[in-house]
Amino acid sequence: MNERQRIILTRLVTGCLLFLLTLRLLEHATLSGLGSPSLFTVDLDLSYWLFKDSGLPDWLMQHRAAAVAFDVCLFGNGVLAFVFPLNRKLILVFAVLLVVYTMTFELFATEHIGQMDGYILILLPFLVAGNRRFTLAWEGMRYLTCLIYVLAFLWKTVWGNSFYYLHQGVSTFKSNLVDYLSLNPGTTMTAIYEWFLRHPWLLNAGEKGVVLLEGIMVVGLFTKKYDRYLIWGPVIIHGVTYFFSDVFFIELLVLDLSFLSATALDRLTPILGFPAAPKKPKKASIPH
């Protein structure tokens, strides 16, 4: 991967992260919108225990000005990383702020939200110096993305048994969407959902199809030949689970960018390929 492709990829990733953070801002899900929550959970994760004991999350949540300042720094640094994609210090600061945001949000949301791990993982390769080493790190992110979905498949088929419950699809549909159906009668989406309830075999077949699609991602661990098709796997998985299970893992889709080829990045040059920084004029050589 050359420098121009790295610039385009960095802007694509940071741009997606800023878009996802903007969605959270509009939903009052950034630190300044949480409203000084008092409940929290750390579960059995030692990293969350250490983070909570540091006092930083409590200080951010108890001081409105600090939470607002944190959000401003988070978005501001993301914009700077987008404009100057080769500045690894800016990307490092952005990555650290994303880690603090993710862990603080999950502490006070009283749930460890796995899909937000995409925020933490995706920027790691961009901290590597040198285009060759960056390329290797980015390919590692691609393999990790495949592994995430393969492990999800194994969790449902080997370590768990939900795949073998023939009515899992309609059961999940009913339990997760009962509130929507009750609170939104007469809407077009409710009518569609009611039609699927009258044909439960479609929901059950769809659930099995999603699990099998997760398993198909194992192909990416052995070859890049089918990346142009595998890139759509997570999109379909998360799209289907959103509409039929009311579970939206949109943050994990940022990892899907690791399937983009160099050719695809070159096509984005007219949009994201503007200079990373003003070029300095060359000094005139003095003849001896």
Average confidence score pLDDT of the chain = 89
Number of domain units in the chain? 2
Residues 243 and 175 in one domain: yes
**pLDDT at position 108:** 85
13 vs 31: CA distance, rounded Å: 22
* DSSP character at residue 67: H
Per the CB < 8 A criterion, the answer to whether 4 and 273 are in contact is: yes
- 148 and 166 in one domain? yes
Sign of CA dihedral 231, 234, 237, 240: negative
Q: Are residues 6 and 112 in the same domain?
A: yes
Which structural domain range is residue 233 located in?
132-260
**8 A C-beta contact, residue 15 and residue 82:** yes
pTM of the model: 0.87
Q: How far is CA 144 from CA 13, 37, 115, 220, 255, in A?
A: 16, 34, 14, 10, 9
pLDDT at position 118 is 83
Which helix or strand (DSSP H or E) is residue 263 part of? helix 262-267
Q: Are residues 142 and 114 in the same domain?
A: no
Tell me how far apart the alpha carbons of residues 56 and 286 are, in angstroms, rounded to a whole number: 56
- Domain annotation covers residue 274: no
Domain shared by 145 and 252, yes or no: yes
97 & 182 share domain: no
Residue 238 identity (one-letter amino acid): H
Residue 199's pLDDT is what? 95
Please check whether residues 35 and 9 belong to one and the same domain: yes
Does residue 270 fall inside a structural domain?
A: no
Question: What is the Cα–Cα distance from 128 to 8, expressed in whole angstroms?
Answer: 16
The dihedrals phi and psi of 81, each to the nearest 5 degrees, come to: -65, -30
> Would you state the pLDDT for residue 279?
47
pLDDT of 23 reads 92
Measure Cα distances from 184 to 75, 177, 188, 193, 220 in Å. 35, 11, 9, 11, 41
**Is 265 part of a structural domain of the chain?**
no
Residues 35 and 136 in one domain: no
d(CA 174, CA 193): 10
Closest CA to 9 of 135, 175, 195: 135
Residue 122 and residue 33 share a domain: yes
pLDDT in tens, the chain (288 residues): 888 899 999 999 999 999 999 999 999 889 998 887 877 877 767 888 898 899 999 999 989 999 999 999 999 999 999 999 999 999 999 999 999 999 898 888 877 777 788 888 899 999 999 999 999 999 999 999 999 999 999 999 999 888 999 999 999 999 999 999 999 998 999 999 999 999 999 999 999 999 999 999 999 999 999 999 999 999 999 999 999 988 888 888 999 999 998 888 888 888 887 776 544 445 555 555
Q: What is the pLDDT of residues 260-288, one digit of tens each?
A: 988 888 888 888 877 765 444 455 555 55
Flag whether 272 is in a domain. no
How many other C-beta atoms can be found within 10 angstroms of the C-beta atom of residue 183?
9
Burial label, 41 (beta-carbon count in 10 A; 0-12, 13-18, 19+): middle
Looking at residue 130, what DSSP letter applies? S
DSSP 284: P
Cβ–Cβ < 8 Å for 149, 234:
yes
From 111, 127, 143, give the residue that closes a domain: 127
The rounded distance, in Å, linking the Cα atoms of 262 and 228 is 12
Q: Is residue 281 part of a domain?
A: no
Q: How far is it, in rounded angstroms, from Cα 6 to Cα 272?
A: 11
Tokens 């050359």 sit on residue: 2
Specify whether 140 is located in the same domain as 119.
no
